[in-house]
């Protein structure tokens, strides 16, 4: 499982011109499920997202997590994070999980984050979405459950 995490002052996702989810301060997370991922990878990513200390404390150091700043997570499915463009110019998505299995784990990620005490909103799985955000910092972090980066 992979995630691109952006600290935001606001973010929203729209489908067909209608806003379906939005947050104020918190994290915009683009998440992808890889072949062979299981609840173990979901738990790793959920815990990492909820505990990631990328919000500033009173001393101006990135020392606080999303819960400590009363933030939320906007979680958006993005299978293209498993795109492999090392050969040629057309990415291969062979490493991404099939949609049916990926949706189950994506939904599990959202509910696991919620169970850890962090409010979560989601995009619409397999929909063409428009994502808007105000990246605060900018701060962008990459997380891979296989610890590849």
Please report the domains of the chain, with CATH numbers, ordered by start residue.
2-144 (3.50.80.10)
The token pair that represents 53 in the structure block: 């200390």
Q: Which H helix or E strand runs over 32?
A: strand 26-32
Q: Is 118 a catalytic residue?
A: no
The one catalytic residue among 6, 41, 55, 78? 78
Q: Is 78 a catalytic residue?
A: yes
Q: Tell whether the model's pLDDT for residue 149 goes beyond 90.
A: no
The one catalytic residue among 41, 55, 79, 122? 79
Helices (H), the chain: 39-51, 99-115
Could you give the percent of the chain with pLDDT greater than 90? 99
Asked if 53 and 7 count as a contact pair (C-beta separation under 8 A), the reply is no
In this structure, what DSSP letter does residue 79 have? G
User: Residue 96's pLDDT is what?
Assistant: 98
The rounded distance, in Å, linking the Cα atoms of 61 and 143 is 21
User: Residue 83's pLDDT is what?
Assistant: 96
Asked if 56 and 45 count as a contact pair (C-beta separation under 8 A), the reply is no
pLDDT tens-digit series, residues 24-79: 999 999 999 999 999 999 999 999 999 999 999 999 999 999 999 999 999 999 99
User: Residue 107's pLDDT is what?
Assistant: 98
The one catalytic residue among 40, 80, 130, 140? 80
Q: Is 80 a catalytic residue?
A: yes
In this structure, what DSSP letter does residue 64 have? E
The rounded distance, in Å, linking the Cα atoms of 87 and 83 is 11
pLDDT tens-digit series, residues 103-115: 999 999 999 999 9
pTM over 0.85: yes
């Amino acid at each position: 499982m992979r995630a691109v995490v952006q600290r935001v002052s606001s973010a929203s996702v729209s489908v067909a011109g209608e806003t379906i989810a939005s947050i104020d301060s918190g994290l915009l997370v683009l998440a992808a499920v890889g072949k062979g991922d299981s609840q173990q990878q979901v738990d790793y990513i959920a815990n990492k997202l909820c505990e990631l200390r990328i919000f500033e404390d009173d001393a101006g150091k990135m020392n606080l997590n999303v819960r400590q700043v009363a933030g939320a997570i906007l979680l958006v499915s993005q299978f293209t994070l498993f795109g492999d463009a090392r050969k040629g110019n057309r990415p291969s998505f062979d490493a991404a999980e099939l949609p049916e299995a990926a949706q189950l784990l994506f939904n599990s990620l959202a509910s696991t984050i919620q169970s850890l005490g962090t409010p979560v909103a989601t995009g619409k799985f397999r929909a063409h979405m428009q994502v808007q955000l105000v990246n605060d910092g900018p701060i962008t972090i990459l997380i891979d459950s296989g610890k590849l980066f």
